[in-house]
Copies of this chain bind each other. A is one copy, B any other.
């Protein structure tokens, strides 16, 4: 079932440079899809430092369990991702499938299974035939080449309507390093497939503990501030790895996330993750509009984030945006239901630049025409000022359309 490309898709895709020390290959294992690639292999010539963040689901997929266990080793030589089957809720067979895939990758690449990372996305509860993947791996390992980021982003798609790539270049200690990333995701769990996956690589030389600290910090305002439908996948995986190949060009080895030479890198990493995360929101199933919910004046940043998520996850707010309806009453409702400190009589609300509510009532200068014009844009900034403190957060989401229901209400078969 193919869906039309989201009207919010990027107009142009960036040219993706190579990451030194990293090679890529994709292949078609026929796991579920016919006539398209569904397996991605990334190979690092030398052990790369690795960091990861994973779903908080209490029912994680087998590959998530597998990656969590390997993360303590701190090094990555191979990353194998398949689409079409999530290998989630597959019991002992699921664990066996991760082991078989990792063994195959280790043999093909020449490393240990403890240096292999895995991700799977697609249908839940269906046993994954790992032999289809492992049979491909020797060939992929030989074919792997520095180019191929766009192909990598396509191979991991499920209900995504466009591949998601981003790249940034910054200097560390006077030497230019590159960060490349890909992501996929359209619903947290889609028809029977999908989840949010992202893989980010850099040639910078950063030790694993520092990389983990950088990633954990950068994920909060980016991937952890995106929601399509409030449904958290069993498989969400974000892996960041650093080949260190830029060392050969004089880039310093960084051991501490607080190292001041990382200032530009930190900013670029955050910017790249937000770029990818917004691409996921803009490809939300059935999305026609991006919604940027900013809550300010909250008692704390974390309180602002909870209120922003309450607004961004409200089906009534999301359907109102789909209908181009400046229905700020629903925003009040969503603030109220969050349970966070709020004073109804201090609330102000904007759609775009139009203040629609002020001091606990409709804005005295409210103009239906101005509000309606703001709602016709393709990006809808919703801003709430609680008037209580300095806390502030922004969450990114999309509208809720009939197409979302159609995509997710179809029979699996």
Contact = CB atoms under 8 A, between A and B. Distances in A.
B360 A192 contact: no
A264 interface: no
A408 B93 contact: no
A39 B339 CA distance: 31
A249 interface: no
A337 interface: yes
A265 B246 CA distance: 77
Interface stretch (A121-129, A131-139, A237-245): A121-129
B405 A409 contact: no
A310 to B, nearest CB: 9
A252 interface: no
A361 B408 contact: no
Interface in A36-78: 55-60
A280 to B, nearest CB: 16
Contact of A332 (B89, B313, B345): B89
A187 B347 CA distance: 24
A124 B329 contact: yes
Contacts of A338: 58
A328 interface: yes
A290 interface: no
A141 B55 CA distance: 60
A341 interface: yes
Interface stretch (A109-117, A147-155, A197-205, A319-327): A319-327
A401 to B, nearest CB: 6
A322 B230 CA distance: 18
- What is the size category of the interface that chain A forms with chain B? 35 or more
Contacts of A327: 192, 412
A312 interface: no
Interface string A78-114: 0000000010111111100000000000000000000
Nearest to A231: B316
B59 A124 contact: no
A294 interface: no
Interface string A336-355: 11111110110100000000
Nearest to A340: B58
A89 B329 contact: yes
A233 B92 CA distance: 44
B410 A91 contact: no
14 contacts: A57-B336, A58-B338, A58-B340, A58-B342, A59-B332, A91-B361, A93-B361, A124-B330, A125-B328, A125-B361, A315-B315, A319-B409, A323-B410, A402-B406
Q: In the A-B complex, list the 10 residue pairs whose CB atoms are closest, starting with the nearest.
A: A124-B329, A59-B336, A57-B336, A323-B409, A91-B361, A232-B337, A319-B408, A402-B402, A59-B344, A319-B409
